[in-house]
């Protein structure tokens, strides 16, 4: 999923940030984007088709010879948010949903796989429980501290553009006529993945250039 999302961002460079969890990804175009003359249908279909084709294209990289059993498809919709505040509220909602779903699934499958319950029994056990109750089940019954579970699953994946220095070897011709390999460092923008909190201020303070100002 993340590799497919990265492919979408590399194809549509006006996407400034993407957030993914479970079977979905959200893509944010910069406020001043003029891609496809800002036609919602064009933006949506291009993102969905690029994501779907990338999912198939990179399948073997992650799953080897395990066959893809049916053609995957992804739908989408376009939403226009009036301000960065509204946009961040949306992204925060998606990450909060990631936490709720992953905590439930972690406890549910732990009860089934380690606790010996059936899926129906596990579902019944968790009815009406709060986050604190689920954390207590994991810790007291299975010695699992949910906060030490992989951040990828607890926080989801945030993709942004960042500059990275890379070293390349170039063949240079010397005055003597000889050729020599010379290392050269250059800075390039690449899509980088983060598994961190995006609800609070720290992420946005560390990456102030992700979102354009509201008055652009």
Kindly state whether residues 151 and 105 are assigned to the same domain: yes
CA distance 211 to 206: 12
| 174 or 11: which leads in pLDDT | 11
Q: How far is CA 102 from the centre of its chain?
A: 15
Ranking 108-117, 123-132, 160-169 by mean pLDDT, the lowest is 160-169
102 exposed, middle or buried (CB, 10 Å; 0-12, 13-18, 19+)?
Answer: buried
* Range of the structural domain that residue 118 is part of: 83-155
- Tokens 């984007």 correspond to 33
Kindly state whether residues 71 and 97 are assigned to the same domain: no
**Any binding-site annotation on 22?**
yes
Query: Residue 54 is part of a domain; what is its CATH number?
Result: 3.30.70.3000
Q: Which of 160, 158, 157 is nearest to 189 (CA)?
A: 160
Kindly state whether residues 12 and 48 are assigned to the same domain: yes
| 56 or 177: which leads in pLDDT | 56
pTM for the full predicted model: 0.87
Kindly state whether residues 46 and 5 are assigned to the same domain: yes
Domain annotation covers residue 50: yes
Kindly state whether residues 104 and 90 are assigned to the same domain: yes
Can you tell me the mean pLDDT for 160-164? 91
Kindly state whether residues 67 and 90 are assigned to the same domain: no
SS3 41: helix
Give the list of residues 6+ apart from residue 162 with CB closer than 8 angstroms, or none.
189, 190, 191, 192, 207
Q: Quote the tokens at residue 194.
A: 């983060």
Specify which residues 207 forms β-bridges with: none
pLDDT of residue 59: 97
Kindly state whether residues 94 and 62 are assigned to the same domain: no
| 9 or 167: which leads in pLDDT | 9
Residue 216 has pLDDT above 70, yes or no: no
- pLDDT of 85-106, one tens digit each? 999 999 999 999 999 999 999 9
Kindly state whether residues 163 and 132 are assigned to the same domain: no
Residues 194-197: contacts with CB under 8 Å, at least 24 apart: 194/157, 194/158, 194/159, 194/160, 195/150, 195/151, 195/152, 195/154, 195/155, 195/156, 195/157, 195/158, 196/151, 196/155, 196/158, 197/95, 197/155
Domain annotation covers residue 212: no
Q: How many domains does the chain have?
A: 2
Kindly state whether residues 1 and 74 are assigned to the same domain: yes
On the CB side of 27, CA atoms within 13 Å amount to: 30
pLDDT of residue 105: 97
- pLDDT of 32-43, one tens digit each? 999 999 999 999
- pLDDT of 118-161, one tens digit each? 999 999 999 999 999 999 999 999 999 999 999 999 999 999 99
pLDDT of residue 215: 73
- pLDDT of 197-207, one tens digit each? 999 999 999 99
| pLDDT, mean over the chain | 93
């Amino acid at each position: 999923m993340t590799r497919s999302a990265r492919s979408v961002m590399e194809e549509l460079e006006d996407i400034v940030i993407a957030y993914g969890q479970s079977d979905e990804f959200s893509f944010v175009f910069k406020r001043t984007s003029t891609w496809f003359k800002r036609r919602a249908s064009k933006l949506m279909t291009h993102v969905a088709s690029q994501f779907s084709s990338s999912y198939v294209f990179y399948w073997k990289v992650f799953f080897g010879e395990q066959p893809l059993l049916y053609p995957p498809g992804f739908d989408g919709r376009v939403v226009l948010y009036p301000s960065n505040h509204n946009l961040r509220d949306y992204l925060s909602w998606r990450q909060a949903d990631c936490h709720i779903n992953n905590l439930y699934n972690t406890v549910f499958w732990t009860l089934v796989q380690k606790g010996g319950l059936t899926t129906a029994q596990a579902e019944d056990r968790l009815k009406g429980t709060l986050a604190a109750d689920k954390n207590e089940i994991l810790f007291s019954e299975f010695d699992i501290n949910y906060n030490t579970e992989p951040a990828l699953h607890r926080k989801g994946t945030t993709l942004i553009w960042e500059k990275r220095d890379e070293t390349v070897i170039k063949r240079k011709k010397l005055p003597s006529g000889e050729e020599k390999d010379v290392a050269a460092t250059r800075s390039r923008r690449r899509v980088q993945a983060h598994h961190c909190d995006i609800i609070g201020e720290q992420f946005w303070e560390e990456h102030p250039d992700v979102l354009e100002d509201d008055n652009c």
